[in-house]
Structure 1
Amino acid sequence: MQNYFSLLFYIKRSKADCNGKANVYLRVTVNSKRAELSIRRKINIDRWNSSAGKAKGFSKEAQELNRYIDIITNKIHKIHQRLVGENKTISALKIRDIYNGKEEKHKMLLKIFQDHNDQVEKLVGKDFAPGTTERYRTAKKHIQNFIKLEYNLDDIPVKDVDHKFINGFEYYLKTERNCSHNTAIKYITNLKKIIRIAYAHDWISKDPFFNWKARLKTVD
């Protein structure tokens, strides 16, 4: 997917201090979604060129501010280029956080699953039946045991869930847990919902279930 990406430096004239100076802000826009940050510099509102997004004139103050703006612009573009090169999901918030030194930590699969289950439990009797919450708890427990057996870990980043993981989990359910085909598919469908949540929140760049089809067997 092509990402529309732009930068805008601006001031908030209405919030100028008693000396007529206002903070300079940067707005990052990716696909119409914005993130803003202060660049921790001020300028007199009469010396700001809104259309250029820079200070007016050639005073020492103006030249220093404009050089600083150029440095920030270069850094932001490098962050954007790195994300494109790594084929990662790009958002204005992500670019801002990386610039601020807050590179996101990997979202963990079981943590997302537990947060989902906690929400489902609070909606029992409204949106969900008690049996639904029990099924999600059991599905999470099976995944937790599979991760421990297969990877010797307590949890894995949700981005590491791929076709190999899905097929391995199905095999685990049918062999180690002695689940029938249909029961195994139901637990995998529970996992699929968690992955869709991660995809919707941009925690993963692609859905490993994209080509996966649930095929239940007819039972006589």
Structure 2
Amino acid sequence: MMRSTFKVLFYVNGSKEKNGIVPIMGRVTINGSVAQFSCKLAIAKELWDAKGNRAKGKGKEARDTNLALDNIKAQIIKHYQHLSDREAFVTAEMVRNAYQGIGTEYETLLGAFDKDNESFRKRIGTDRTLGSYQVRVRARNHLAAFIKRNYRRSDIAMLELTPDFIKEYEIYLSTDAGLHNASVWSNCMWLKTIVTKAHYNGLTPRNPFAQYRVNQNVKEREYLTEDEIRTVMTHEFADRKLAYIRDLFVFASFTAMSFVDIKELTADEIVEVNGEKWILSRRHKTKVPFQVKLLDIPLQIISRYEPFREDNLVFSGLSYWSLCKPLKRMIRECGITKSISFHCSRHGFATLALSKGMPIESVSRVLGHTNITTTQKYAKVTTEKIDRDLTAFGNRLNQTFDGISVAM
């Protein structure tokens, strides 16, 4: 292994001379990398020994200056040794920054991630949620496990990062960590976001991931067809818990509401407009207003659980994690083999609404999306809709070309 070349020297900046006084500067050199800094000291020009890099003479000013320089050098050596023990790659800039106390929390990748997560945690309950924070913590822990496995270290310096690092991380997530495509993509994007943010704030001189694109490669979204929704609605369950979960899923399928919005739905948010019942609320996730007209089916379900309301909540005592497994059991009991989550109810609503001719702008408003491109991801062009649209198109063409035959 090549021996590291480390050197600290001091010099005066003659261009800043004022009344014969010059500022003292420091320079750290490590393996060809150089970083300069101000010692926050000044000395009479004639007292400086350029060859010895110290003040000359035995007077009080020279003694005090040299003592201060010895102290600075000792601190720099200490920081260099500390970084060398922790990092495999140390630059002069890292040592200089550590001495000055600049950007030390961003010297390492996990240090940057932890700091960003802590800032996020402080916003929980204001404009961030605990669930989102937990996702970020899991992303950080995946990254820590990767560094430990591939580099045999507890952290890695920002300056060590290369485009190959994120490629290797992507492979690790899909193989060793066993994550699905969407989870691999989201974890890689968290990593890229942290490094990009550090670069933007001037805490790392380059962004090795600037040109790297993570392939999302998301699976086709599952949803229930119109016939499958009818099957779920009409199935009689012996288990009342499964029947309750069925009712919640059907309610979501007819209102496009997310689980958390249903969980937080209060009776006060159900209002009468022109003699009909509507839900007027804001999305929990984006705070975007949404409005849903309550059709017969969701009104039946609301009425069914009205006697069990607590704290004015339309549906009381809901917990997402206690619902996940029973939901899959409920779907299987209906003879449906698709892998359905509660969120699939929103996919189903969007697909059904678009196939029935509802404009995508209206669907987007009902879903509470801030961007219509998000709605397009939910949209499914069903065979039924293609057949209907092509038939209508063919009828119009037949009228246009009626009586015309192709020449022989």
Query: TM-score band, normalised by the shorter chain?
Result: 0.5 to 0.7
Q: CA RMSD in A?
A: 4.0
Residue of structure 1 in register with 2:166 after alignment: 166
Residue of structure 2 in register with 1:152 after alignment: 152
TM-aligned CA deviation for residue 133 of structure 1: 0.9
The 1:25–1:133 alpha-carbon spacing in structure 2 relative to 1, beyond 3 Å, is same
- The structure with the larger Rg is 2
CA contact (8 A) 1:10 1:26 kept: no
TM-aligned CA deviation for residue 142 of structure 1: 0.3
Q: Which runs of 5+ in 1 are unaligned?
A: 1-6, 14-21, 28-34, 43-61, 73-88
CA contact (8 A) 2:196 2:210 kept: no
Task: Give the Cα–Cα distance (whole angstroms) in 1 for the partners of residues 118 and 101 of structure 2.
Answer: 27
Q: Residues 11-30 of structure 1: matches in 2 within 5 Å?
A: 24-25=22-23
Per-residue CA deviations over 1:21-71 (Å, capped at 9, x if unaligned) read x975479xxxxxxx76533325xxxxxxxxxxxxxxxxxxx6446x76xx7
Q: Residues 78-97 of structure 1: matches in 2 within 5 Å?
A: 97=96
Q: Give the counterpart letter for 1:38 in structure 2.
A: K
Q: Residues 108-123 of structure 1: matches in 2 within 5 Å?
A: 108-123=108-123
CA contact (8 A) 2:24 2:43 kept: no
Per-residue CA deviations over 1:80-104 (Å, capped at 9, x if unaligned) read xxxxxxxxx99xxx69x48x89999
Per-residue CA deviations over 1:134-158 (Å, capped at 9, x if unaligned) read 1110011001111111111111112
CA contact (8 A) 1:25 1:38 kept: yes
The yes-or-no answer on 1:9 pairing with 2:16 is: yes
Residue of structure 1 in register with 2:176 after alignment: 176
How many residues end up aligned between the 2 structures? 160
Per-residue CA deviations over 1:152-202 (Å, capped at 9, x if unaligned) read 111111222212211111111111121111210100111111101221243
Q: Percent identity?
A: 19
Residue of structure 1 in register with 2:63 after alignment: none
Task: Give the Cα–Cα distance (whole angstroms) in 1 for the partners of residues 127 and 108 of structure 2.
Answer: 26
Task: Give the Cα–Cα distance (whole angstroms) in 2 for the partners of residues 151 and 63 of structure 1.
Answer: 52
Q: Residues 198-209 of structure 1: matches in 2 within 5 Å?
A: 198-209=198-209
3-state SS of 1:118 partner: helix
Residue of structure 2 in register with 1:54 after alignment: none
Q: Which runs of 5+ in 2 are unaligned?
A: 1-12, 26-36, 55-90, 222-408
Residue of structure 2 in register with 1:125 after alignment: 125
Task: Give the Cα–Cα distance (whole angstroms) in 2 for the partners of residues 128 and 104 of structure 1.
Answer: 26
CA contact (8 A) 2:103 2:203 kept: no
Task: Give the Cα–Cα distance (whole angstroms) in 1 for the partners of residues 171 and 147 of structure 2.
Answer: 13
Q: Which structure is higher in RCO with an 8 Å CA cutoff and minimum separation 6?
A: 1
* TM-score, scaled relative to structure 2: 0.33
* TM-score, scaled relative to structure 1: 0.57
CA contact (8 A) 1:166 1:188 kept: yes
Task: Give the Cα–Cα distance (whole angstroms) in 2 for the partners of residues 216 and 181 of structure 1.
Answer: 7
Moved more, 176-185 or 198-207: 198-207
Task: Give the Cα–Cα distance (whole angstroms) in 2 for the partners of residues 23 and 167 of structure 1.
Answer: 54
3-state SS of 1:38 partner: strand
Task: Give the Cα–Cα distance (whole angstroms) in 2 for the partners of residues 131 and 183 of structure 1.
Answer: 15
